[in-house]
Amino acid sequence: MKKIFVCMLSLMMLFLTACGNTEGAAEKKTTTVEKNVKSDSEKQNMEAKNKILVVYFSRTGENYEVGNIKKGNTHIMADMIAEAVGADTFEIKTVKPYPADYRECTEVAKKELAENARPAIEGKVSNWQNYDTVFLGYPIWWSELPMPVYTFIESYDWQGKTVIPFCTSAGDVLTGKEDNITKYAKGAKLRKGLGIRGKRTQDNPESVKADVLKWLKELGFNAR
């Protein structure tokens, strides 16, 4: 009888131990799954925050040196950058379009500059907070950034972001005004920009692309 009791007690202890091990294994498995889910979520958030955006203002119609164009000089350059670094793009568009005639457009731009105007623009960048690097492109108007570009800059929080300017103009140069960008894009870090003659984007885009790729590699981007 005593032997039977000892056997039954041993079987009960074995059963309880097995249950305890099963529960422990289940708990360990659940913890591992939770860690994996958390790890995947953190990875996705990190990838989302390491995104690049190319923002540009460009104009079609009659342009200096190139006549009537269907795709703006700065737009061409913006697409080259976006393709090379795998970036998203956003075009700055004014609510009120500029005149298609070149002379008329210059007069409107001159008036806006004198008034330090902020023309209304269309749309907003989705998930702005996810972008940490922003390429900012524009044509040079009266030795300055077009006023709608300032409208855009002042519409967002630039804290912690890097801004990289690029422009098209009458020469392969920047104007120096780009140094003032961070006065408006408060909290942003400014990196070396690139200026390209607008006529080249239309007449010899391959030479422009070569300059763009060289510049991007100097900045440390794995341009393709």
∠ CA(28), CA(33), CA(36), 5° rounding? Answer: 125
Q: What is the model's pLDDT at position 54?
A: 98
Token match 């700065």: residue? Answer: 74
CB 102 within 8 A of CB 64: yes
Cα(101)–Cα(219) distance, integer angstroms = 37
Q: What is the model's pLDDT at position 50?
A: 63
Torsion of the alpha carbons at 10, 16, 18 and 23, rounded to the nearest 10: -170
Q: What is the model's pLDDT at position 111?
A: 98
CB 106 within 8 A of CB 114: no
**Which is it for strands 88-91 and 51-56: parallel, antiparallel or unpaired?**
parallel
Q: What is the model's pLDDT at position 17?
A: 44
Cα(85)–Cα(132) distance, integer angstroms = 14
User: How far from the centroid of its chain's Cα atoms is residue 208's Cα?
Assistant: 21
Cα(28)–Cα(22) distance, integer angstroms = 10
Answer yes or no: is pLDDT of 29 > 50.
no
What is each CA distance from 74 to 78, 127, 176, 205, in whole angstroms?
A: 6, 24, 18, 12
Name the band, by pLDDT with cuts 50, 70 and 90, for residue 65: very high
Average pLDDT over residues 15-32: 44
Distance in angstroms between the alpha carbons of the first and the last residue of the chain: 84
Give the pTM: 0.79
154 backbone dihedrals φ, ψ, rounded to 5°: -75, -5
Residues sharing a CB contact under 8 Å with residue 74, sequence separation 6 or more, in sequence order: 56, 57, 58, 59, 137, 138, 139, 166, 167, 168, 198, 201
Model pLDDT for residues 90-102, shown as the tens digit of each residue: 999 999 999 999 9
Name the band, by pLDDT with cuts 50, 70 and 90, for residue 175: confident
User: How far from the centroid of its chain's Cα atoms is residue 27's Cα?
Assistant: 42
Q: Which helix (H) or strand (E) holds 19?
A: helix 2-49
Percent of the chain at pLDDT > 70 equals 78
Answer yes or no: is pLDDT of 35 > 90.
no
Tokens at 96, concatenated:
């009120």
Cα(197)–Cα(65) distance, integer angstroms = 10
Model pLDDT for residues 107-143, shown as the tens digit of each residue: 999 999 999 999 999 999 999 999 999 999 999 999 9
Q: How many residues does the chain have?
A: 224
Q: What is the model's pLDDT at position 44?
A: 42
